[in-house]
Structure 1
């Protein structure tokens, strides 16, 4: 006789999300967005490890007790900030990888979507700056990691297609190539200045050209 698998209790993050959905209203939703945006600013300014919930409450202009209604830990805030944009990036790259286009165009489109996402969602810089495996845990955090891993595998798939078709060099390990290409974009969080002469998207176009030039077959 088969036994029924006992379901594990929901995580605190999942429970609080459910509570917010039940209590959803214009005022509550607006405050939650303010909390997330405030957390993103403080994480970027102070770094995740140095940030406290008191810092975030002060940034939003509420007291600690009010903040606790929306969130229990800063880990929950980080997960909430990153989950949707990283999932969206994975979905976009899946669509690009499935298109009937040459591999160089797919690579350019995929990297362009990535840099546009980073320019529009600066909280993604938190993801590339932090060792996500060490700062978050649980089902929701695993979703973030799985989406990010899937994104990397899709990019590797595009490079493999290009090597097979002759559009890219076939003597470069695709895993190393993906790490090198993505590293160019991710490392920009260390030096990129929004007030500088070039936007992040413009810098991304330079990186895309560099990646395509490096991968082009030797003549």
Structure 2
């Protein structure tokens, strides 16, 4: 077999001009700023939120965006690739914001409050995060960018845990609960909003977030001692 023939049939080699151009688009560092790519990502977010990631198809996304399948395939080859492109920046933004607050020279309660507020703000600004929260989508992603998505999510959780751990050391948070377990409970409460929150509801996401922040802070503070007001009797 000739060298040229081997090149044409190699698994990673594009076998048509369209496939070659699509591969170049995927590898181009500036693709995320491309207007059409942004439209496709926005349409995918709506489709995945409405139908769920698993049952949704690339054809559903093409219809949502108003392009034909050939145009869509020029930009993205698989649904998984589209999911990675959709979630990469939001999870990175969330991690950056939480890390920034966690590093502030403030007492743990203020840092926990501020970091949770940043979490809610990011959810409101980047609703793509609801796709990540709705399903175990991290289980279907692969590749370097998908690894980065998982890493950003894990690092955000560790930053929250470190804030709580420092609060325990300061004596302002209860020491009888593992900080990692506390984070799972607190973040789980916030993440569950994707099941019932409606943008057209009576309260904004930020309003609900403030209630959740108050409950989160209350849950990690030491219980009151003595028989003062508000202390429940056995």
Instruction: Give the TM-score, by structure 2 length.
Output: 0.83
Alpha-carbon distance in 2 for matches of 1:156, 1:56: 37
- Please give the residue correspondences for 1:38-187 in structure 2 after superposition, counting only pairs within 5 Å: 38-187=43-192
Aligned counterparts of 2:79 and 2:188: Cα–Cα separation in 1: 27
Between Structure 1 and Structure 2, how many residues are aligned?
A: 205
How many Å separate the matches in 2 of 1:61 and 1:20?
Answer: 25
Given that 2:26 and 2:76 are in contact with CA atoms closer than 8 Å, whether structure 1 keeps it comes out as no
Unaligned runs of 5+ in 2: 1-11, 13-18, 225-234
Looking at structure 2, the residues matched to 149 and 134 of structure 1 have their Cα atoms a distance apart, in angstroms, of 14
Which residue is 1:191 aligned to?
A: 196
Q: Deviations over 1:11-68 (max 9, x none)?
A: x9986432473xx69xx81111111100000000000001111110011111000101
Q: 1:18-57 alignment to 2 at 5 Å?
A: 18-19=27-28, 21=30, 29-57=34-62
Distance 1:70 1:193 in 2: 31
Q: How much does 1:146 deviate?
A: 0.4
Alignment RMSD: 2.0
| Cα 1:31–1:202 shift into 2, 3 Å | same
Cα deviation for residue 91 of structure 1 reads 1.1
Alpha-carbon distance in structure 2 between the residues aligned to 1:150 and 1:19: 27
Output the CA distance in 1 between the equivalents of 2:223 and 2:207: 27
Instruction: Tell which structure's C-alpha radius of gyration is larger.
Output: 2
Residue 82 to residue 14, structure 1, CA distance change in 2 (3 Å): farther
Query: Partner of 1:196: helix, strand, or coil?
Result: coil
Checking the alignment, whether the CA contact within 8 Å between 2:132 and 2:138 is kept in structure 1 is no
What is aligned with 1:5?
none
Question: Matches of 1:48 and 1:37 in 2, distance apart?
Answer: 14
Distance 1:105 1:131 in 2: 31
